[in-house]
């Protein structure tokens, strides 16, 4: 009798947890569907886009610095006095 009641309690608990998880998952699905459908951005998405923009800017700046350094090095080699 005790084992049977334990199994029954465990089964009911599993059903309750499963139901709660399904509801939570449905709420999350609804949230993301609405967010993506209406083009709304959450704070994480905005932060990631800002980081991405900064990385692109940094990449361009590094490219410009490297290009300038290559020109300076070429000029120094081309116009340096012969020893």
State pLDDT tens for residues 14-53.
Answer: 677 677 778 888 888 888 788 777 767 778 888 888 999 9
Give the separation between CA 70 and CA 51, rounded to whole angstroms: 28
Q: Which residue has the higher pLDDT, 26 or 4?
A: 26
CA distances for 83 relative to 6, 60, 71, 79, 80, angstroms: 95, 37, 22, 12, 9
- The label of the residue with tokens 């199994």 reads 7
Residue 35 and residue 42 in contact, taking contact as beta carbons nearer than 8 Å = yes
């Amino acid at each position: 009798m005790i084992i049977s009641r334990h199994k029954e309690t465990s089964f009911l608990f599993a059903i309750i947890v499963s139901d709660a998880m399904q509801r939570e998952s449905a709420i999350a699905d609804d949230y993301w569907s609405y967010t993506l459908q209406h083009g709304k951005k959450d704070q994480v998405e905005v932060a990631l886009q800002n980081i991405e923009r900064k990385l692109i800017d940094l990449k361009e700046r590094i490219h410009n610095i490297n290009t300038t350094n290559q020109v300076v090095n070429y000029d120094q080699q081309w116009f340096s006095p012969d020893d």
